Structure formats: C-alpha cells, structure tokens
Structure 1
Amino acid sequence: MGRAGAGAVSRRAVLVVPVGLAVLAVSEVLLRGGDLAGGFAALLLLALATTVPLPFVLRTGTGRLARGGAAVAISAACVLSLVPFGMLTVGGVVAQLVCVYVLGRAGATALGGLFVLPYVVIALAGHEDPTRIVAVLVATLASAAAATGIAHHVRSTALAHSVTEQAFADTLLEHAARGERARIARELHDVVAHHISMIAVQAETARLTTPGLPAEGATRLLAIGDTARTALTEMRRLLGVLREDAHTGVQRRPQPGLRQLMELVDESRDAAGSRTRLIVSGPVTMLDPGIEVTAYRIVQEALTNARRHAPGAAVDVELRYGNADLTVRVRDNGPGQPATHDSGHGLLGMRERAATVGGTLRTGSAPGGGFLVEARLPVNPDDDEEAPA
C-alpha cells in the first residue's frame, strides 16, 4: 500500500469504503425489514454502527487509542447484531475483517486476535444454526485477515531492519575507507615524501659541491632537483585529497588538464635542453575532466621517459581532436629501443590510465626512427567504439 506505513490507505478510500459499506448494510436491513418486526430500528442503527467508525481505523494519522476504540465499536455492533437478532450484514462483516487486518498490519496482534474470540464463543455456545454458521464463517475469515495483516507487518519490519543494517554497514565501510586513506597518507608523508625531498637536497648539494662538474652535468642535477620538488608538490596535493578531515593547511588545486599542457612542454624543454614542440590539430573542444587529466598524465610520463632514455632528443607532442576520440602522440628522435623504454612501470602505468577511460595505448619504434607513444581516448566514454590498438 505504499510508503505511508502499516495500514496506509488513500484519503479517497478512507471515505469511499466506509460510505459504500454503510449503504450496503442499510440496504440489506431495508430489504429484510418485513422479517425483522420490532427489531428493525435497532438493526438499522447497528448496521450504521458496524460501518460508520471505519474511517478512524483506516486513517493513518489516527492514534492507537482512537483506532482501537473505533475497532471495538465496530466489533461490538457486529456481535450485538448477530446474537440478539440473528443477522449480520455483509457490510458489517467486511468492516470487521478490515479492522482485524489493519490492526494486525499495524502490529496490534493481540487486539486483532481478541476480536476473533467472540465469534468462536458464539459458534461454541449452541446458538441456532444460521447464527452459528455466520459466526464460524466470520471467525475463519477474521483469522485469515489477522494472519495476513501480521504477515505484512513482519515483512515490513524485517525490511526496515534490513535497510537500517545496510545503512549501518555502509557507515562502517566508509569509516574503514577513511581510516585506510589516512594510513596511506601517513605512509606517503613519512616515507615517500621524505625520500623525494632527500633526492632534491642531494641533487642540489651535488650540483653545488662537486668540483669540476661540467655545465651539462650541473644542468642535469638542477633538472633532477626541480623534478623532485615538483613531485613533492604533487604528493602534497594527493595528501590533501586523502586527508578529507584535514581541510586546513593543505592547498588544494584542480587536477591538471590539457590547458596546462603547454606549461608541461615548456618545463620539459627547459629541463632537457632540447627541442620540444606541441602540435594541435582538429577543432579544440572542452573534454571530460577525466579524459583531460589522463591525456596530461600520459604526456607527462612520456616526456619523462624521453628525457631518461633519449637525452637530448627532440620530442614532438601532438594532440589530434576527432569526433569520436582524442589522439595523443609523443614521439622522440632518439635511438628508439623498445627494451630500454619498456623498463620500469612507466608504460604499464600509461596503459592502465588509458584503459580506465576506455582508451588504448600503443608504444614502440616510430617509423623513420625514434620511439612513439600513441594513446587514443574516447571523447564520449559511453560510446561502444573501440580505438584500434
């Protein structure tokens, strides 16, 4: 019957059902008026009494006392109509069954069962056959109605408990996840960040204290120190994301995207001391942030690999905007030895990044020499088209 709760009935039904049952009960008394003699007026009042209080039972906002009182009035009117006069209208029977069902569904199982008891007593008290038959019929139907209401109540209670338990489990899981993120943040801060800062310090110390260091070596050490400090800054941002409960003291910045790619190319050019170009083709459009940060990280890693494995080589970074995908190509004119470039976890990390957004990554020797990293990232991740490997 919806989410209104046990025994919830629409406002229209609260009025229409009792009125309909009252009309049915009164009509039945009027049709049998010739057979009732002096009890006609009393039966007419009892017929109304068995149906008129029903809205107080059906209405969801009714308190327990008012609902129980209305149910008692209906049940008493039904019993008084059956025992002295030997007649119980169909409307009265339906009203009695509705009362027992609603009380059972609302959780008042004892009160619902109490209303079945008078009919059992009437059936066993040796009344005339018509009265006994009606009493047995009402007792049977009322027991079934009460059982149905109780079953609905048990089911709704179990569902409510299940929802509560699920919410509690989700809360515990979220707390556990936050604790794990805090632990990872501590490990990154205490171990990894320390070592990266030591790299920056040692590179700077070596550059300033090594006698007879060539200019090229000093440039390389300066680039190592700058790269370490950049990595330290990125790690601080990551720590700010992991420590959700530490909103102060951590500077948070948006994830980098393609608009920051020119800065990345300039930094790579200055660090490597070689020619690095950015080539853009196709209509430039705003892409999903996940696609942009993936493309940025792939270019970042590819430039790092080029500086490491092909020092001094010229590098071309190309972005090709298409209708279905974004093609990212990073090509250097170095020796192009796949075995050298494949060492470490750089290429694996790039493949995993591309796969997370539904894209693909191809690496290997470039036509005409050098090494090529090419990623194809879908502009719309929901598309079913797959970029060729």
Structure 2
Amino acid sequence: MVIERAVAAGRRVTGAPEWPTAAGLLLGLLAMVEVALRPATSGPTVSVALLLGLCGTVPLALVRTQLVVAAVTTTAATSLILAGIGRPTGANLVVQLAILYLVGRRRSRWIAVPMALPFVGHPLIGPLWSIGGGAGAGRLADVLLAAAATVAVAAGIARRLRREAAERAVSRRVIEDTLLEHVARGERARIARELHDVVAHHISMIAVQAETARLTTPGLPPEGARRLVGIAETARAALTEMRRLLGVLRSDAEGAPTRRPQPGLHQLNDLLDEARASTGAAARLVVHGRVVPLDPGIELTAYRITQEALTNARRHAPGAAVDVVLHYADDALRLSVRDNGPGPADRAPSGHGLVGMRERAAMVGGTLTVGPAPVSGFLVRATLPFPDPPTELPATSRSDALAPAPRDPA
C-alpha cells in the first residue's frame, strides 16, 4: 500500500507541468549546500564547484521545452566536475541520470548515446584528462557511474522503442480495419448495383409479362390464369424482398435506396440538359443507325458511362463542348463521349471513375477504351453487345425511342 501510494504520488507530481522547474531549483539548492559543506575546499575551487553544481542541476527545468540543451549543459558540467573536481554532488547525479533517461526516451539513439559516452569512457581515460590534481572518487565510483549512465540511456531507448512499436501496432490495426471496412462497403455496393441494375429489371418484366399474358390471351383456361397470377405475385414478392435486401446492402455504402426507376437511354436528353445548365457549354446527342429496344441492363450501363464521362469532362475540361454519340449497330450499341478540351495531358486514364465504367461495360459483356481524341480532347468509347438479335422499332416510334419514359407510380 505504501509503495502504491508513493508511485501514485510520484505520477501526480511528475504529471504536473511545473515539476521540472521546481525539481531543478530544489536540486540546485541541494547541490550548493553539499558543495558548501564539503571539507578542504576554499577559494576559487568553491566558486567553480558551485557554478558547475548549478549548471549540472538547474537545466532540469528545461526538459519539457529544450531537452537537448538541458542534456548538453548537464553533461558538460558533470564531465568538467569529473575532470577537475573529482566528485559530482548527489543532486547532480540524480539530474544527470534522469536527463539521460529522458533523452533516450524522447530523442533518437544518435542523440542519446553520445550523451552517455563521457561517463562510459571516464573509467578508461579519466586519469589522463584529470586536471588540477583531482583524482576523482575512485575507479569503483567511476565504473558505477558509467554503468548507471548506460542503464539510464538504455532504459529510455527501450521505453521509446516499446512506445513506437505499440503506436505502429495500433496504426496498423486501424489501417487494416479501415481497409476491410472500405472493401466490405465496396463489395456491398457492387452486389447491390448488380442486383438492382440487372436482376430487378428482369423480375419486374416477369411480373408484367405474366399479367399481360393473363389479360390478353383469349380463351385462357382458369387454371392457366391462376398460374399466371401466381407467377406475377411471386415475382412481385421476390422484387420486394430484393429491394429490402438492397436497402440493407446500401445502408452504409450508397445511402438509402431509391424507389425511382433506373435511368436508361430515354433520359440522356435530361442528362445533357443538366450538363448544359451546370457548365454553360454545348452538349449534343447524336444517334446513328436503327434505334432498337435494348435490354434494361445495357441501357443503364450506357447511361452510367455517359454520366461519368460528362462528369469527367466538367472536372478536367470545364467549358469544353461535349458530343455523345449512340451508334446502333447490328450486334452492339457503340457509345462514344468526346470533349474538345485540352486532352489527357494532366489526366491519365486511371481513377475510380474510369475503373467503374470499365466494370459496368464488362458486366454486360462489353468493352471500354479511353484516351486522347484524334485531333484534340478526350474520348470515351464503349461497345455494349446485344444479348439477342434486336427487333427494329416501327418507323413511327423511332422518334419516341429517346423520349422520357413515364415514371413507375410505385
């Protein structure tokens, strides 16, 4: 109990911001008293001993702000005492060992080790550099001081190394946890995107086609009608459960899930209107080939690639005109987004946005290339193959293929 109370009291004292100043002044006073009480000292020797005693103790007050200065001053004073007077005071030894420990704990070993060298080498070369006939306190005392100085520096260095190792371990755990969390969020977002972008559309189509077949098939037997109703209800239930699952997956990755329909090519005009309104630059949509109805996953992929490309154009080429070209080929939809900005001099084809576009294109079996345009600017080109041979729209409906689709009341 007594030891625990003493340790607690010592921690309270050393934790106070003013303890170095108080300790330095107190130990300096004790050093002066010890020098004054020593026998066979008089004249200049007393004055020098008093001055060196103060220089070897009072610098303890600087350990919080100027530790290296305090260590150099104290070590120089103690070395001069050993060389010229012979025996440092007890207060001087306490301060010296404390400062050596603090230097080893708070500074690098390249600063701490040289501070202990004078005391380690004194037993060997002390008789050669002693001045004024001072023989020192004996070889045993010199050896004990060298050992104490070495232990103090080593203890401080060991404490610093343990602290740094603990800090590195904590930092490593924090980084690992953060990386795992980001990976988990990215994986949840990717799964949610794939489910919502592709599977949800097909489930919705199952429900719609089942209801359509039940209502438009003439002479349908009652049993067939009931089965079609069951198919529609099962599809709607699966869609509801999937939306609930997506809400869980996206809760911390992309925010609350939306109940709006996923965008498609019919909303490209709105996207370009937003781009023109935000930058004031020209943005055109050019359509080539025979417009055909596409799979919802392909339309969503084309929309997202266009959206990301327009965002990159606004970020890296502000004020540049952008052309979005849709080419309906026989086997694929070819999309290109080109701006007339300065080109990719200051933006290499890398980054999360371009990686995301490539992943979206690959998800539907397509490819995506990015790079400088033939003359100037930046070009994003995607090829999204058709899963099945598309059916050409009637001529009267081609003009409405890219018009905004009606919103789902759900």
Q: TM-score, normalised by structure 1?
A: 0.54
Deviation by residue 1:241-265 (Cα, 9 ceiling, x = unmatched): 424554588249xxxxxxxxxxxxx
Q: Mapping of 1:101-250 within 5 angstroms?
A: 101-125=101-125, 126=127, 128=135, 130-190=137-197, 192-213=199-220, 221-222=228-229, 225-226=232-233, 228-229=235-236, 231-243=238-250, 244-247=252-255, 250=258
Q: With CA pairs under 8 Å and 6+ residues apart, which has the higher RCO, 1 or 2? A: 2
> Match for residue 82 of structure 1?
82
Q: In the alignment, residue 58 of structure 2 is paired with which amino acid? A: V
- How far apart are the structure 2 equivalents of 1:195 and 1:151? 65
Q: CA deviation at 1:212?
A: 4.5
- How far apart are the structure 1 equivalents of 2:23 and 2:163? 24
Q: Answer yes or no: is the 8 Å Cα contact 2:123–2:139 preserved in 1.
A: yes
- How far apart are the structure 1 equivalents of 2:119 and 2:254? 69
Q: CA deviation at 1:165?
A: 1.6
SS of match in other structure, 1:130:
coil
Deviation by residue 1:331-387 (Cα, 9 ceiling, x = unmatched): xxxxxxxxxxxxxxxxxxxxxxxxxxxxxxxxxxxxxxxxxxxxxxxxxxxxxxxxx
> Match for residue 23 of structure 2?
17
Q: Answer yes or no: is the 8 Å Cα contact 1:236–1:250 preserved in 2.
A: no
- RMSD of aligned alpha carbons: 3.0
- How far apart are the structure 2 equivalents of 1:97 and 1:35? 27
Say whether 1:35 aligns with 2:43. no
- How far apart are the structure 1 equivalents of 2:51 and 2:239? 89
Q: Given the superposition, is the C-alpha separation of residues 251 and 204 from structure 1 closer, same or farther in structure 2, using an over 3 Å criterion?
A: closer
Q: Answer yes or no: is the 8 Å Cα contact 1:240–1:251 preserved in 2.
A: no
Q: CA deviation at 1:237?
A: 4.7
Stretch of structure 1 that moved more, 71-80 or 102-111: 102-111
Q: In the alignment, residue 104 of structure 1 is paired with which amino acid? A: G
Q: In the alignment, residue 180 of structure 1 is paired with which amino acid? A: E
Q: TM-score, normalised by structure 2?
A: 0.51
Q: In the alignment, residue 196 of structure 2 is paired with which amino acid? A: H
Q: CA deviation at 1:12?
A: 4.0
Unaligned runs of 5+ in 1: 2-7, 253-389
- How far apart are the structure 2 equivalents of 1:168 and 1:130? 55
- How far apart are the structure 2 equivalents of 1:250 and 1:72? 68
Stretch of structure 1 that moved more, 186-195 or 39-48: 186-195
Q: CA deviation at 1:176?
A: 1.7
Stretch of structure 1 that moved more, 154-163 or 230-239: 230-239
- How far apart are the structure 1 equivalents of 2:91 and 2:40? 19
Q: Percent identity?
A: 49
> Match for residue 352 of structure 1?
none
Unaligned runs of 5+ in 2: 1-6, 8-13, 261-410
> Match for residue 51 of structure 2?
45
- How far apart are the structure 1 equivalents of 2:190 and 2:57? 67
- How far apart are the structure 1 equivalents of 2:141 and 2:88? 8
